[in-house]
């Protein structure tokens, strides 16, 4: 009897739905994301405003849809930066070893000993706030974790027979690393990317909540939670729906990483 990877399937369905919302928001939202109305402040969910309105009379559904796109954009860019540079660092140090490996990994260990959000806050304090600056800060902070994972996988695989055969046949080190080794650790890398995306979402939401992330009036799920804090008893829907969306995004990628981990163990 065929066994299905239900975690992976469920994660892909949830993530596909959230991506569909993000793509839709790029072309259409029920209302303008920034349009304010003094006559529509803190309206509860209704047929006109399915998720209600905020303290400026803006449609919460429209802002949640657009904020979902902002979250995905920041998460994806952060993972790409961390994965690309982390893979290069981890692959080179893991394959060649020696003094280079010892020095870089000690620096890596020092960076990993600090919470990534704390280091990102330090970067933000120098770079300033804004969507692209938070991407740079988080991307740099995620390089050590990807480097550590890739390094351990490269050390494990470089002693395999097919790698030794490629070396005997005259293949160069870079070819062995990026043609023979990296493709064989793709499942581990995808798992790390899914986990990294979740961490990026939480970090972005945390910094936007603190006012150090996305700059208003551009919508961000974390920023919406921050703005809704003082209206939690007057308009609870303002905080409820952005929180649900963040939870769904994290759940989707969490299930994907769990499913990929199951594939790697087979």
44 within some domain: no
Q: What is the CATH number of the domain that holds 146?
A: 1.10.3720.10
Q: What is the pLDDT of residues 34-90, one digit of tens each?
A: 888 888 888 899 998 999 998 888 999 999 999 999 889 999 999 999 999 999 999
Longest dimension (CA), the chain: 76
* Cα–Cα dist 134/152, whole Å: 28
Distance, CA of 215 to chain centre: 19
Is the omega angle on the peptide bond into residue 43 within 30 degrees of 0, that is, cis? no
Letter string b/e over residues 188-206, b meaning 16 or more CB atoms within 10 A of that residue's CB: bbbbbbbbbbbbbbbbbbb
194 within some domain: yes
111 within some domain: yes
In the block, which residue shows the tokens 């490996």?
101
Residue 59, phi then psi, degrees to nearest 5: -70, 120
38 within some domain: no
pLDDT of residue 65: 93
> What pLDDT band is residue 225 in, cutting at 50, 70 and 90?
confident
Rounded to the nearest 5 percent, the helix, strand and coil shares of the chain are: 75, 0, 25
49 within some domain: no
Q: Give the structural domain span for 251.
A: 6-30+57-265
Q: What total of structural domains would you count in the chain?
A: 1
pLDDT of residue 176: 85
Residue 55, phi then psi, degrees to nearest 5: -70, -10
78 within some domain: yes
Q: Are 255 and 189 in contact, with CB atoms under 8 Å apart?
A: no
pLDDT of residue 2: 54
* Cα–Cα dist 237/64, whole Å: 11
Q: What is the pLDDT of residues 152-162, one digit of tens each?
A: 888 888 888 88
Distance, CA of 152 to chain centre: 22
Q: What is the pLDDT of residues 185-199, one digit of tens each?
A: 888 888 888 888 988
Six token digits for residue 202: 């939480």
What residues does 59 pair with on adjacent strands? Answer: 53
In the block, which residue shows the tokens 């970090």?
203
Lowest mean per-residue pLDDT among 17-21, 70-74, 82-86, 175-179: 175-179
Letter string b/e over residues 17-28, b meaning 16 or more CB atoms within 10 A of that residue's CB: ebeebbeebeee
Residue 213 DSSP symbol: S
């Amino acid at each position: 009897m065929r066994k299905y990877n239900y975690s992976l399937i469920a994660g892909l369905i949830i993530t596909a739905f959230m991506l569909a919302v993000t793509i839709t928001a790029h072309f259409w939202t029920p209302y303008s994301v920034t349009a304010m109305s003094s006559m529509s402040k803190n309206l509860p969910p209704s047929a006109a405003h399915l998720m209600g309105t905020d303290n400026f009379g803006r449609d919460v559904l429209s802002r949640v849809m657009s904020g979902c796109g902002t979250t995905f954009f920041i998460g994806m860019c952060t993972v790409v930066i961390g994965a690309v540079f982390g893979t290069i660092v981890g692959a080179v140090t893991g394959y060649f070893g020696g003094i280079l490996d010892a020095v870089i990994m000690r620096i890596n260990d020092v960076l990993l000993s600090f919470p990534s959000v704390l280091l990102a806050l330090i970067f933000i304090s120098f770079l300033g706030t804004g969507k692209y600056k938070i991407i740079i800060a988080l991307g740099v902070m995620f390089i050590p974790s990807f480097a550590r994972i890739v390094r351990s996988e490269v050390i494990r695989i470089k002693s395999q027979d097919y790698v030794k055969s490629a070396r005997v046949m005259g293949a160069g080190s870079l070819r062995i690393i990026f043609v023979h080794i990296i493709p064989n650790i793709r499942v581990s890398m995808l798992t790390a990317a899914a986990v990294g995306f979740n961490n990026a979402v939480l970090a972005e939401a945390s910094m936007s909540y603190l006012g150090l992330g996305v700059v208003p009036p551009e919508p961000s799920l974390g920023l919406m939670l921050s703005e809704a804090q003082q209206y939690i008893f007057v308009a609870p829907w303002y905080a409820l729906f952005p929180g649900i969306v963040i939870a769904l995004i994290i759940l989707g990628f969490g299930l994907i990483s769990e499913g990929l981990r199951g594939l790697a163990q087979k």
